Structure 1
Amino acid sequence: MMRYLPLISALLLSSAPAFADDTPLSDKPAKEWLVTLGGITAVGARYPGASDLSFYALPWISYRRVGQPAEFFSPDDGFDVTLFDSGSFSFGPVADLRAGRTDNALLKTMGARDLPWGIDAGVFAEFWPIEGRLRTRVELRQGLTRGNNGAVADFAADWVSKFDNVTFALGPRLSLGDSRYMRNYFASTTPLFVPKAGVKSVGAMTSVLIALSPRWSTTVFTRVDRLIGAAGDSPLVMRQGSRWQTYSGVGVAYTFSL
């Protein structure tokens, strides 16, 4: 299965279940693929450490073979392609967007530089210790954009509960950054502050997917992170930003056979 969701680490939208109007899509023999198209709108911190918010509006697409069960994934997963899937364990390449930081005069007086929006790429691994109920996931990604590189490691666990047409998920989050990533977002010269590699944030994520009709579904979600360690101690965060980082949004998806 392929998933595509261009959003910061983060952010966002669970996959839609596969149905047809009167007959299940999987019962249509002439069709081989199920395609889900969707869109998402969200509000969250403009960049790591920011106190002000920005709105995001992004597309989303996934596809799978007819008869293949719809795969759960969290709204804050990166977009990935599964190369190996044993049922309980899977891995493959993953990518995500990295937020930029520009036009902040106050931060520039403290020695913070502008950062362009960037792209991360790396690998993911996913394991279900309890099939259909408990999911664990790790993403290791390297920034590819000049001026906003560095590596990150994101760890997640989700408890998944399904009630008829509703899927609820809740779980903790942990994010780490290497020294280059931490310096990009949290270093300053006035006062002098040079963060080292380490834990960037801890938090929690929750999402609710509702099947509105055989083909349509919607997802609402919220993620809250707390910057800790060097990230939380940065003068850029303490004086001009916030240790609390929140992201909330809603998405709509439509599934059809192809």
Structure 2
Amino acid sequence: MTKQDLQIKTHDGVAKAGLFRSAKASPFKAGVILYQDAFGPRPALDGMAERLAGEGYTVLVPDLFYRNAPYGPFDAKTAFTVEETKVALMALVTGTTQAMTISDSSAFLDALASDGVTGPIGTVGYCMGGARALNAAAIYPDRIKAAASFHGGNLASDAEDSPHRKAASIKARVYVGMAGVDRSFPAEQSTRLAEALRTAEVDHAIENYVGMAHGWCVPDHSVYDEAGAERHWKRLTDLFAETLV
């Protein structure tokens, strides 16, 4: 397994990113963009990217907070329980808009292409990254063939940049794994998202992980659940195996 540190030029500056590839990955095989959760790129996400790369994909993990670098690092288990780090985190999250990440995603796709990835692209996002994975699929439908969100928040909110509003532009297959109880993606948003995707005739599945809390997939979260995480891996790898061909 190899990790290459990249400097990706965007419209607003330079974003750091990690590029992960296994020995068995073909340079012409599919690529994956992994959109971070609120705590930013770190060893836990590197490990998840390595696992995906082990399936034969080239995986890019960009720093969505690069406009405000340097920052952190943050401890995912305690960052939201300490007022100082909570305030810093929320400033990063709210200061990194969907529009910014949509613009950046063009550069992320170009970075994969420059590395020789000419096959289809999948996106996956966790927490704040979930909406970004879906919005990227809507804005770049000719490149992105699969998009997954796990414990993603505000996927069908009243905001103008809510992903459900762009459902008609999505050509990718979509999978949404929602936490059993999640204030950032309540039942009414799940219903609204399902209706938008169904009306737009998007191939999709929305699955409720009963008993799982927001953040259950990521190993350094306080609510990490091994069985639930393995279930998420099965769904994600099946999605990509069926679509990124």
- Superposition TM-score, scaled by structure 2 size: 0.30
* The structure with more helix, counted as a fraction of residues: 2
* The structure with more strand, counted as a fraction of residues: 1
Answer 1 or 2: higher relative contact order, Cα 8 Å, separation at least 6: 1
